[in-house]
A = this chain, B = another copy of it.
């Protein structure tokens, strides 16, 4: 048990093993949309996704909840959560986006998030990032700025979890982290409350290492005094870090491209990124590179919607025509163009973001 630790930032290699151990289903609905997020198989597994696929196909009501825990600046890994959110809302989901500021404070050490005041300032920046990426402000909420029904739900959840359940799932019973879990469960379920959208299938996209939360949420959903539909989950691959074998993580800034990075920082980080290049130019021309292990290619695959560009990069790398230096230049140009636009939108979004966190 507990081989998936929801707070571990190491990359998970053996997905199939995880499916078997925890009873996830392999994702197969790749034809549901034309989005590159589906076509490039960034989703790998699910729990109970058929209800959602059915709702999408027959234009029936379904809900979506996604969140970002406010413990630092958003990076390209977080952008994937947002991209999935934007996709499912386009597919018809009534959606809410949580900026999890209380979660960010209670589950992180003081050295990282020293106070609720600090968590709220991070939340403002996260909300501005979400708005800049395309999430309508009316769909975004901060955990600290919710109606009381939400907090009541967190406490009702606490009565349905025993310490033993918690310890079996997470291997510890840290109170701050327990609080974070109560809030996360309430986030996912509150969209079905009577004052919100009411009972309906609900989808939440998470990294596969977050599955313990998903199982606990589904277990609790059944036992609460509400008529909740069991929530569905899809699991996507984490964008790995820029170094070999790492996960993109705020805790290790040089593994990540942050949405606020300057063109110089992007250039520096991508230039140093681990690639699938060979020992020498000669060898690479002859045998081709290996995009399947390349961090630069991975960024393009997760973030560049152009099939022509991304598939072209893959083919030319394999053929030994595109070398790492040029490819990195392309990636830097792509990222800097994207981040420039984003950063402009971010600045404009800040006043709106402030309202989301602090109220009017």
Q: Identify the A interface with B (CB < 8 A).
A: 102, 105-106, 114-117, 144-148, 151-152, 154-156, 158-159, 161-163, 166, 173-176, 178-179, 183, 225
Given contacts A173-B173, A225-B116, whether A158 and B144 have CB atoms under 8 Å apart is no
Q: Is the beta-carbon distance between B155 and A179 smaller than 8 angstroms? A: yes
Q: Is the beta-carbon distance between B225 and A152 smaller than 8 angstroms? A: no
Q: Is the beta-carbon distance between A105 and B156 smaller than 8 angstroms? A: yes
Q: Is the beta-carbon distance between B102 and A152 smaller than 8 angstroms? A: yes
- Specify which of A117, A162, A183 lies most central, judged by the most chain B CB atoms within 10 Å of its CB: A162
- Interface of A, secondary structure class, is helix
Chain B residues near A174 (CB, 8 Å)? 162-163
Q: Is the beta-carbon distance between A116 and B148 smaller than 8 angstroms? A: no
Chain B residues near A114 (CB, 8 Å)? 225
| Min CB–CB distance A104 → chain B (angstroms) | 11
Q: Is the beta-carbon distance between A175 and B176 smaller than 8 angstroms? A: no
Question: What are some 23 contacts across the A-B interface (CB < 8 A)?
Answer: A105-B156, A106-B156, A116-B152, A116-B156, A117-B225, A144-B148, A145-B148, A146-B148, A147-B148, A148-B148, A151-B151, A151-B154, A155-B179, A158-B175, A158-B179, A159-B176, A159-B179, A162-B174, A162-B175, A163-B173, A163-B174, A163-B175, A175-B178
Chain B residues near A156 (CB, 8 Å)? 105-106, 116
Cα distance A225–B113 when bound, in Å? Answer: 12
Closest 8 CB pairs of A and B: A151-B151, A158-B179, A159-B176, A115-B225, A106-B159, A163-B173, A102-B155, A158-B175
Q: Is the beta-carbon distance between A106 and B158 smaller than 8 angstroms? A: yes
Chain B residues near A146 (CB, 8 Å)? 148
Chain B residues near A116 (CB, 8 Å)? 152, 156, 225
| Min CB–CB distance A90 → chain B (angstroms) | 31
